[in-house]
């Protein structure tokens, strides 16, 4: 039986690296992005050509329940079943709580946390039916310890961790594993807003002395997929020893 996966936030950064790694392993993919539709289509076409796999692309607001649930259901119909769900889509807001608008808060929580409920709601029944599946949520070290001036982001990632642990207990009897990767500082567009001085200062605070690469996270994701299903409900830190 062919192996299949859904990856959200797949047009760049961590999601793109994960999608590439899965394609290399022969997974047929449903890839999601928010706005970079042409970029994602080109990437999907490249994966299909290079690895001889099926790819399907969806572009829209992952925080929109109607879009996300219907798109995941469509991907399930096209792929036939879902083996792996990667909840990677995410947004950040850096600034004081008092400078945040309600719309900013809603956007962060909707994108980083609520979207995982929507994707899971669409694909979990299929996994339960097949008595197998792997759900991996991309979290952050700030979901564990919190970050000043990133209250909404930290809160959303703390929610990701709790969502992971709770859903793991719920789905364990059905042979489905649910884990999360708590990333440290990853060299992606999300951190591109930082000045070179800020990046250097942040790197000094990391015991490894450097940022993590998206490919490092992708390797960890593959390790989780290939781990015994008995490993579930874990928040796996990949932060260079930061915390």
DSSP string over 126-164 = HHHHHT-EEEEEEEETHHHH--TT-HHHHHHHHHHHHHH
Give the residue-averaged pLDDT of 75-101. Answer: 96
pLDDT at 36: 93
| pLDDT at residue 188 greater than cutoff 80 | no
pLDDT at 191: 65
Using CA atoms, how far residue 206 sits from 116, 218, 239, in Å, is: 29, 20, 8
Distance CA 159, CA 143 (A): 7
The 10s digit of each residue's pLDDT in 206-235 is 877 778 899 999 999 999 999 999 999 999
pLDDT at 85: 98
Please, what sign has the CA dihedral across residues 140, 146, 148, 150? positive
Give the residue-averaged pLDDT of 180-197. Answer: 77
Nearest to 238 by CA among 225, 218, 125: 218
The 10s digit of each residue's pLDDT in 119-167 is 999 999 999 999 999 999 999 999 999 999 999 999 999 999 999 999 9
Predicted TM-score (pTM) above 0.85? yes
Q: Could you give the strand order of the β-sheet that contains 133-140, starting from the edge strand earlier in sequence?
A: 55-59, 28-33, 4-7, 84-87, 133-140, 176-183, 235-238
pLDDT at 33: 97
pLDDT at 194: 67
| pLDDT at residue 112 greater than cutoff 80 | yes
pLDDT at 51: 98
Set out the domains of the chain in order of their start, with CATH numbers.
4-188+214-238 (3.40.50.720)
- Burial level of 105, CB count in 10 A (0-12/13-18/19+)? middle
Catalytic residue ranges: 153
Q: What is the widest separation between alpha-carbon atoms in the chain? A: 52
């Amino acid at each position: 039986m062919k192996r299949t996966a859904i990856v959200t936030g797949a047009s760049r950064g961590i999601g793109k690296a994960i999608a590439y790694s899965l394609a290399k392993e022969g997974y047929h993919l449903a890839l999601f992005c928010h706005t970079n539709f042409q970029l994602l289509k080109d990437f999907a076409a490249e994966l299909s050509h290079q690895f001889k796999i099926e790819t399907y692309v969806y572009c829209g607001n992952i925080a929109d329940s109607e879009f996300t649930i219907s798109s995941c259901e469509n991907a399930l119909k096209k792929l036939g079943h879902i083996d792996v769900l990667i909840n990677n889509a995410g947004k950040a807001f850096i600034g004081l709580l008092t400078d945040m608008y309600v719309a900013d808060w809603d956007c962060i929580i909707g994108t980083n946390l609520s979207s995982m409920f929507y994707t899971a709601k669409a694909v979990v029944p299929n996994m339960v039916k097949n008595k197998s599946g792997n759900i991996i949520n991309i979290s952050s070290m700030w979901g564990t310890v919190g970050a000043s001036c990133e209250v909404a982001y930290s809160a959303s990632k703390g929610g990701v961790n709790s969502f992971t642990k709770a859903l793991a207990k719920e789905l364990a009897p059905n042979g489905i594993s649910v884990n999360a990767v708590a990333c440290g500082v990853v060299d992606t567009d999300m951190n591109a807003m930082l000045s070179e001085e800020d990046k250097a200062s942040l790197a000094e605070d990391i015991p490894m002395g450097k940022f993590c690469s998206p490919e490092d996270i992708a390797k960890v994701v593959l390790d989780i997929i290939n781990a015994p299903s008995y490993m579930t409900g874990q928040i796996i830190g990949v932060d260079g020893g930061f915390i």
